[in-house]
Amino acid sequence: MNAIFDTVPCWHDHTPAYTSTLRARRGQSVTVRLKTLLDVQQVQIKVLVYGEIYERPTREIAPVDGQGRWFEADFEVNAERVRYAWQLLLADDTLNFSLAGLTHTRRGYRDWFSLLADYQAPEWVWERVFYQIFPDRFRNGNPDNDVQSGEYLYGGRPVIKVDWDTPPDRRGDIHAHYGGDLEGITQALPYLEDLGVNALWLTPIFESPSNHRYDIRDYRKVDPHLGGDAAFEALMRAAQERDFKVVLDGVFNHTGDEHALFCRALHDHEAPERDLFTWKSQPQKGETPYAAFFDVPTLPKIDYTSPRAFEEFIDGDAAVVRHWLRRGIDGWRLDVAQMIGAGGTDAGNLEVHRRLKRAAREENPEAYVFGERFFDAEHALETGQGEDGVMNYHGFGLPVMEWLAGNNLRGHPVRMTSEELLDLLWDAWHALPAPIALNQFNLLDSHDLPRAMWRVGGDRNKLLAGLTMLMAFPGVPCIFYGTEVGLNQPEPGAMPFCRVPMPWDEGRWDSALLEATRKLIRLRKATPALQRGTLRLLACAPDAVAWLRELTHADGRVERAALIASRSSTPAPITLTLPEGNWVDALAGTEVGAGGEYTLELTGGTILLSR
């Protein structure tokens, strides 16, 4: 298993006692430190400099935390990403220490520690708990702006107004409008504040004909059926008064087919707007004559071969990215981020994201930009110059839910072991620079996935295990609306069934689940180790896993939080060794002990704190 457990007899991480800064400028010197319990004769640091590995001596210092032996070294941050590892010389052995643990053979660079140059993380996100809202299904604050049945045609079919409690079905899919709006979100802010979340991600709110609004007609106008610009301004004022951050959904891979730029390009082959889209020279029968998202006719793909595409959407003086940041939003979630590019492909994808992020930071130096990359996004996150993070399906959400539920997104059985889960979580975490890893947007479910409660078969304990893991894993936690009250879906599948309307009759809520979720959110927000700490693995058992979050301050003070989660419907045992400290169960409020080996039995999950 290629992962570091807490038993490894040396340590280095990104926290202040071990790394002097995470905000280095290119050319700046950084000090890094290693702690070891081994009887070493010498410690060296290996730094990758312009393609060559330089071995440099270290100097021994007084133990920062009063334990073991500590060594430190300085080096210059001379590239976008500088990689380094440690070498320990013993009397009869030589060991390499990297994020793959202690090994005799030098590991590949992917396992080395790293620092970024000229990157400043939007660190406010580490202290936030997000809540995802699909506006049409969350709350109807003003029935006067509802879509009416037959009001207009979409794809040749009339749209329909649906009663709030009607389960979503295939026929209604994108045509059924439930009436949720921005006024409803504003009215619900006291509920959300009581829940404990303090940041919102809203799926698209711009003028569009469908209920999901990923087919945008006008990017600079809030949809009148959501309350229009006045409702947006009211929501932003109310959110800021309650210290809520707001991130909007940016659809920059495609427009809707009713967008004015596309309509001109489609109907006039000489129109200057023509180069904003990609046109097929010989479309196959039944295909659109233009590149589109999965060849869906209503979603023509933007072509970033065109400078005008950048000017309109990304980084022009009045580009959409800049427009909404100027109006007060705190960042962007980027729809299908991995598909954005030139010529109907993903060509130039990373350059689009670099320019987008640069424009966003010019408007708001702390803007948070994260992308929907459903697969391994390591290549896009290497230097921090593009997205700050991604929706962490690959490195958290998908494997955790497969381990808990025993099935994948399509309902096929999956027999994932606890060891495989920890191995995958570690692999994804350790490959990223620390601030980027802490920026990852973690989630269990969303508007594109089957609801978590559905996948675990209605088992509250399994869902609580997932929510506890969500609050305890490195990255930014996000709850999909209604998960906290046990909201389920009417039948198997993802869209549209996961987009059920939020019930506002509290008699339909799972009040015990809601209270447990409140506790978890409060704990996350009150515990710096869960927000900024490193990750160390503690133990795994057939039906349980445990990991440690650790934050070592510059003066040697250590804050620790231990996650223990079980997927079993009956109490499952796990044996683990806790570091020395006064450990308490932060959720149950009970004393655990002073550290050492423990065998615990539990269902669901819990978090232990060392005080």
Residues known to be catalytic = 335, 372
Q: Residue with structure tokens 């423990």?
A: 598
Handedness of CA 358, 360, 364, 366 (dihedral sign): negative
What is the Cα–Cα distance from 45 to 26, expressed in whole angstroms? 20
Two structure tokens written together for 475: 């990255």
Contact predicate 82/91, CB 8 Å:
no
Q: Quick one: CA dihedral 568, 570, 573, 578, positive or negative?
A: positive
Residue 376 CB burial class (10 angstroms; 0-12, 13-18, ≥19)? middle
Give the distance from CA 368 to its chain's centroid: 11
Angstrom distance (rounded) from CA 506 to CA 508:
5
Task: Assign residue 494 a region (left: φ > 0; alpha: ψ between -120 and 50; beta: otherwise).
Answer: alpha
In single-letter form, the type of residue at position 534 comes to T
Length of the chain: 611
Q: b/e for 70-90, b at 16 or more Cβ within 10 A?
A: bbbbebebebebbbbbbbbee
Which residues, in sequence order, are CB contacts of 141 under 8 Å at separation 6+?
A: 181, 182, 183, 184, 185, 186, 187, 227
CA–CA distance, 547 with 4 (Å, rounded to integer) = 10
- Estimate the crossing angle of helix 460-472 against helix 398-405, to 10 degrees: 150
End-to-end alpha carbon distance in the chain: 31
The rounded Cα 188 to chain-centroid distance in angstroms is 24
CA atoms within 13 A on the CB side of 484: 27
CB 543 within 8 A of CB 575: no
Cα 471 to Cα 192, 230, 442, 509, 571, distances in angstroms? 17, 35, 9, 21, 21
The 8-class DSSP code of residue 310 comes to: I
For residue 106, the 8-state DSSP code is P
CA distance 494 to 410: 9
Question: Cβ distance 571 to 529 under 8 Å?
Answer: no
Helix (H, G, I), strand (E, B) or coil at 236: helix
130-145 burial, b for 16+ CB within 10 Å, e for fewer? bbbbbbbbbbbbbeeb
Tokens (6 digits) for 210: 């469908």
Give, in order, the Cα–Cα distances in Å from 34 to each of 14, 241, 429: 11, 44, 20
